[in-house]
Structure 1
Amino acid sequence: MTAVGPVSFPVPQPADRPAQGDAATSAREFEALFLSQTVDEMLKTVPAGIMGGGHAEEMWRSFLARAIADEIAGGGNTGIATSVEAAITGYGRREQTGG
């Protein structure tokens, strides 16, 4: 059996990373996407055909899910974006200090 050495991956340097202000934007986008997928799954439990059925209903349902998710995320009450932003910022600080 042949021993395999450690694999190294290039780690972007702080200059290569997006500005810290982008953490808030990324966190809000993540929250909206997560909520959109969650709402979409919830809408799938609504009996098929209640809105007419077919391909148009499926497409409309995804738009409805995104609109509901955007409203929920816009309220800022879930705390998802806040937690994700704190994690991104904390990771960035740890990388800058070398820890």
Structure 2
Amino acid sequence: MREVDVIARFGGEDFLVLLPETELTAAVECFYRLLRKTSDVHWGTMKDRLNVTFSCGIASTLTHPCKLLGLYCILLITASIQLTKMVAIESPL
């Protein structure tokens, strides 16, 4: 992470990562690296039957952060419902 990036807990099991000044393609690459790293960990060895899943919604916009947050929530829910690892969109909002 860079000094300008922000990560925060967002709800019970979710995290919000803000990557300002980052193109959509670079953000997607970042989260694919994160997906690979979380997939490589043998979580069950830390605690019996521990299972970690990864879903990600990525949005890119230059407008108000509240609009971006709403779009992020929609994308994350979409990824979870479709059982995909990631949904990404670039939107002018």
TM-score (norm 2): 0.26
In terms of fraction of residues, the more strand-rich structure is: 2
In terms of fraction of residues, the more helix-rich structure is: 1
TM-score (norm 1): 0.25
**Which structure has the larger Rg?**
1
